Amino acid sequence: MILADFISPDVRAARSVNLERDKGHQATLRHYHLTGKGLEILSRLASALNGERVSAWSLTGPYGMGKSSFANFLMALCGPASEEETRIARQMLEEKDSSLGMNLFHLLSKHSSRGKGLFRVGVTASFESINRTLARGLRQALLKTTHWPRRYRQELSDLILALDGLLAQEVPETTRLVKLFRSAKELYGAPVALMVDEFGKNLEYTARFPAQGDLFILQALAESATTFIWVCLHQAFEEYASKLSARQLQEWGKVQGRFEDVSFVEPRKEMMRFICETLTRNSNDPSMSKAVRNWAKHFHREAKQLDIPDLKELDVDTIERFYPLHPLAAVALPELCVRFAQNDRSLFAFLCSGEPNALPAFLASHSLDPSSGQMATFSPDLLYDYFLSSSSTTLMNRPESHRWIEIHDIIERSRSIDPFHLSVLKVIGLLNLISGPSRFRSSHKLVSFAFLRPPSKSDEVLRELEGAIEESIQKGVLVYRQYADEYRLWEGTDFDIPAAIRERKRLFASQTLEAIIKETVPLSSLTASSLSFLIIKGCSRLNN
């Protein structure tokens, strides 16, 4: 049986989310995975609805971490109880945390009559002023909201015409726009839920054109009663303001002070859970299921012997759900996505994309035959191949890329060696990239674990592994650090080069170009030449 006939990824889970395009898209909502970070943010909303003074939050996290997906879920959750997307979102929350769900639904009902939910304004920012983004978002919300009584048609039409007038201006007027938000809230009869995705684009625009737009509009809206605001950022406020003057930075600080910052970074375990939920069984063949179960039990026994918490904590059920991913590949995958790619987005791409070295290609090209005594396994060296081919452009733009480049150069120079020996170098190189004080150290035990292929006997493979390692050390390709029980593809250094680069960039960002040049290329002192006047010829002369 082809592996793809037995198991396949749920490709619907990998679809990227756009706050405006996917409003009301039920399939997108159903495949959202509500995480602990999402529950934390919803708990803060419940506190705000219950009288907590904080009502504005900045969700700060790296690219591809799932902020847009959560924003889409949150907007659906705050909608009218009669809408199907709201029912789906509420059911998902109840299944995840019934207590929080009941409390939040009660508070939402308390703040809106007839179960119509909050007045939702969801907008994705562009490289434009925040005023224009908000005016555009409010106009879309007025047009798309369905729960308008007939008697309000004229008022609704007037609001839309007023917004059209503001959008025709080069910079929509702040005071007028705040009044229109207030009028829309009063007309709807419920608090406002304002979500601005990609807010960093507004900040970049404001930093470049300080006179265009007014960040204080967010402060004015945040100070309005029963207005709840979320903005999604890839980095902190101040990172966008490196070129502003001290006075401008102070003004930005006042606006930032109105927002409670939430670090939107999911733990690695959430990403591992997503792997399990994305890989779905297409067949219930008893012999196949038994073979996979035995495969998982074998790996579980071996993982318990390792000093790697990420592997020791895995139970048999989790390892079974990872199949066909080697357990080491499964726990290394989130680490690679976070350090060298775009987090959840890169994880989705590996699990679901049609790239040559991605998981679907492996499933389509390998068979599962329990009677043969072989179990096709996506090993860590194949994971190295995938990330090198799919993330090369991203890698080159990161401070950490020097590690990957050096490892890749060593492996490329060794292409002529035996394929198994090359796989050994790839596994050790992969572990070198993600190693830490107590995680993924490329010890002899862990490298041996990487080459387990149950139910096959491991003795012959381990003997071949010993020979490959010894030969690589003799050739100077591998270095063994005895004090750390660790193999390395390069000598390396304990000095954190990327951190030093980031620190220098931070220091330079706060200085003017003139100050940087004076510090790095100081001018040498010159002695003034004496000047004399020749009376006879009547001309000046420099005496050197």
Instruction: Return the CATH number at 154.
Output: 3.40.50.300
Question: Is residue 17, in this structure, part of any structural domain at all?
Answer: no
**pLDDT at residue number 484:** 83
**138 vs 187: CA distance, rounded Å:** 13
Give the rounded percent of residues in the chain with a pLDDT score beyond 90.
47
Q: Is the pLDDT of residue 493 over 70?
A: no
> Is 248 found in the same domain as 183?
yes
Any idea which of 70-74, 346-350, 379-383, 516-520 has the lowest mean pLDDT? 516-520
Instruction: Please tell me the predicted confidence (pLDDT) of residue 213.
Output: 74
Residue 475's pLDDT band (cuts 50, 70, 90) = confident
- Same-domain check for residues 288 and 401: yes
510 φ/ψ sector (left φ>0, alpha ψ -120 to 50, else beta): alpha
pLDDT reported for residue 495: 59
**Which of residues 227 and 400 earns the better pLDDT score?**
227
| Pair (224, 280) in one structural domain | no
pLDDT higher than 80, residue 390: no
Q: What is the pLDDT of residue 24?
A: 83
* Residue at a domain's end among 263, 289, 322: 263
Taking the complete model, does pTM exceed 0.85, yes or no? no
Residues 295 and 435 placed together within one structural domain of the fold: yes
Q: Which of 98, 99, 101 is nearest to 86 (CA)?
A: 101
Residues 274 and 185 in one domain: no
**What pLDDT, in 10s, does the model give residues 401-450?**
677 888 888 888 887 788 999 999 999 999 998 886 557 889 999 999 99
101: in domain: yes
| Average pLDDT value for residue range 457-471 | 87
Say if residue 175's pLDDT is above 90.
Answer: yes
Smallest CA-to-CA distance from 56 within 224, 206, 172, 263 is with 224
Any domain includes 459: yes
Banded pLDDT at 267 (limits 50, 70, 90): confident
**What is the pLDDT, as a whole number, of residue 28?**
87
User: For residue 528, is pLDDT > 60?
Assistant: no
pLDDT at 317: 96
Considering the chain, what is the average pLDDT of its residues? 86
Q: Going by C-beta distance under 8 Å and a sequence separation of 6 or more, which residues neighbour residue 109?
A: 81, 115
Average pLDDT over residues 377-389: 91
What's the one-letter identity of residue 383?
L
Which of 89-103, 464-478, 479-493, 506-520 holds the top average pLDDT?
A: 89-103
Q: Are residues 197 and 313 in the same domain?
A: no
Pick the last residue of a domain from 197, 232, 263.
263
Q: Please answer whether residues 258 and 222 qualify as being in contact, where contact means their C-beta atoms are separated by less than 8 angstroms.
A: yes
376 and 360 in a common domain: yes
> pLDDT digit string (tens) for 222-241?
888 889 999 999 988 777 87
Residue 497: predicted pLDDT? 65
Please tell me whether residues 293 and 211 are part of one structural domain: no
Q: Are residues 308 and 235 in the same domain?
A: no
More confident residue, 266 or 162: 162
The answer to whether 230 touches 57, Cβ cutoff 8 Å, is: yes
CA distance 132 to 144: 18
In a domain, 230, yes or no: yes
What's the rounded mean pLDDT across residues 72-81? 95
Q: What local confidence, expressed as pLDDT, does residue 416 receive?
A: 77
**Domain identity same for 105 and 240:** yes
Cα distance between residue 452 and residue 462, in whole Å: 9
Q: Supply the pLDDT for residue 298.
A: 93
Mean pLDDT for the stretch of residues 477-487? 88
- What pLDDT was estimated at residue 247? 72
Structure tokens at 197: 């995705």
Helices (DSSP H) in 239-391: which residue ranges? 246-256, 268-278, 286-303, 309-312, 316-322, 327-340, 343-352, 359-365, 380-390
Q: What's the pLDDT score for residue 538? A: 54
When divided into structural domains, the chain yields a total of 2
Q: Are 404 and 394 in contact (CB under 8 A)?
A: no
In a domain, 12, yes or no: no
**Average pLDDT rounded to a whole number, residues 85-99:** 96
* pLDDT band (50, 70, 90) for residue 490: low
Q: Is residue 543 part of a domain?
A: no
Which residue range(s) make up the domain with 160? 36-263
Radius of gyration over alpha carbons of the chain, in Å? Answer: 30
Report yes or no on 93 lying in a domain: yes
How confident is the model over 455-468, as a mean pLDDT? 83
Q: With contact defined as beta carbons under 8 Å apart, do 24 and 298 qualify?
A: no
Using a 10 angstrom Cβ sphere, with 0-12 exposed, 13-18 middle and 19 or more buried, the burial of residue 525 is exposed
Q: What percent of the chain has pLDDT over 70?
A: 89
**Residues 411, 376 within the same domain:** yes
* CA 231/CA 71 separation, integer angstroms: 9
- Bridging pattern class, strands 374-375 and 479-481: unpaired
Give the amino acid at 316. V
Q: Do residues 336 and 469 share a domain?
A: yes
Q: Is residue 502 part of a domain?
A: no
Is the predicted pLDDT of residue 462 greater than 80, yes or no?
Answer: yes
Mean pLDDT score, 450-474: 86
Rounded to 10 deg, the angle between the 343-352 and 327-340 helix axes is 130
* Final residue before a domain boundary, out of 230, 263, 296: 263
Please give the average per-residue pLDDT across 254-278, as a whole number. 89
